[in-house]
Amino acid sequence: MQQQNEPSISLDTTRIPQHIAIIMDGNGRWAKARGLARSAGHQKGVDTVRAITESAIKLGVKYLTLYAFSTENWKRPASEVAALMSLILTSLEEELFMKNNVRLRIIGDVERLPEDVRQAVLQLVERTNGNTGLTEIIALSYSSKWELTQAAKAIAREVAAGEISPEDISEDDIERHLTTVGIPAPELLIRTGGEVRLSNYLLWQCAYSELYFTDTYWPDFNHNDFCQAISHYQQRERRFGKTSEQVAQ
């Protein structure tokens, strides 16, 4: 009998992506299909976050970036925003991070978060800083356009201060001002919930990522679905603008 969490899909363990980014979509529709409030979908989504974090650890993924709340999500009804904030506050349990040796990083405009959420997440980032296993990056109040605008402002300040000349601005200069500085680009981006778009997520970082879309709603997404996504990634040839023949060499 197949054990729970044992992949039914065979993966090349030498080619597991070191960084996987996920757009966790479909919580609302999952709840609606069951006659439940949208917040029940988000609640169930937290169980999936835990399960997929465990899967990532088992498979040897080094970085897992999860889109928990976008800049645009601030426009949702106040009650849903409040429910999501409260869920984030209660579900980020220190014990789980410590037990699994997971290091937490937050990317996004944390200044917009309610004070208690901001304090709690930043404290957890600090407390898990010495953990050496998986780095879990949670995108909170995040959007790529916000991030790139911040980077542009920071570079403009360096130019104004005479520290750098406009002609010398390089891709590295932009990267060192991104929230993901020091983190390798995701090799694989997964979006659940059936939509085929990037929704302002890691647009710079995913320039060469393989994209995987599934109709499965996030609360239903499981270890096998995760392995399926990785298997698709492993079947693709990553050319980075080169020809197949060049890659083969």
* Residue among 43 and 205 whose Cβ is closer to ligand FPP: 43
Q: Rounded CA gap, 44 and 41, in Å?
A: 5
CA distance 18 to 20: 7
**Among 17, 108, 186, 193, interactor with ligand FPP by CB under 6 A:** 193
Give the interface segment with ligand FPP, choosing from 24-32, 142-150, 165-173, 233-241 (CB under 6 A): 24-32
Q: Does 138 bind ligand FPP (CB under 6 A)?
A: yes
- Enumerate the β-bridge partners of residue 122: none
Residue 49 contacts ligand FPP per CB under 6 A = yes
Let me know: does 146 contact 71? Beta carbons within 8 Å: yes
Question: Is 73 marked active-site?
Answer: yes
| Sheet with 135-142, side-by-side order of all strands | 103-107, 135-142, 63-70, 19-23, 188-191, 210-213
From the CB of 140, what's the least distance to ligand FPP, in Å?
8
Footprint on residues 96-135 left by ligand FPP (CB under 6 A)? none
Residue 68 binds ligand FPP (CB under 6 A)? yes
Spatial neighbors of 129 by CB under 8 A, at least 6 apart, are: 103
Instruction: Name which of 59 and 106 has its Cβ closer to ligand FPP.
Output: 106
Per the residue annotation, which of 73, 131, 200, 222 is the catalytic one? 73
- The H or E element containing residue 64 is strand 63-70
- Catalytic (active site) residue 109: no
Q: From the list 20, 21, 22, 24, which residue makes contact with ligand FPP (rule: CB under 6 A)? A: 24
Amino acid (one-letter) located at 217:
Y
Task: Provide the minimum distance between the beta carbon of 58 and ligand FPP in the complex, in angstroms, as a whole number.
Answer: 19
| DSSP secondary structure code for residue 5 in this structure | T
Closest alpha carbon to 136 in 80, 34, 66: 66
Known catalytic residues are 25, 73
Binding site for ligand FPP (CB under 6 A): 24-29, 42, 45-46, 49, 66, 68, 73, 87-88, 91-92, 138, 193, 218
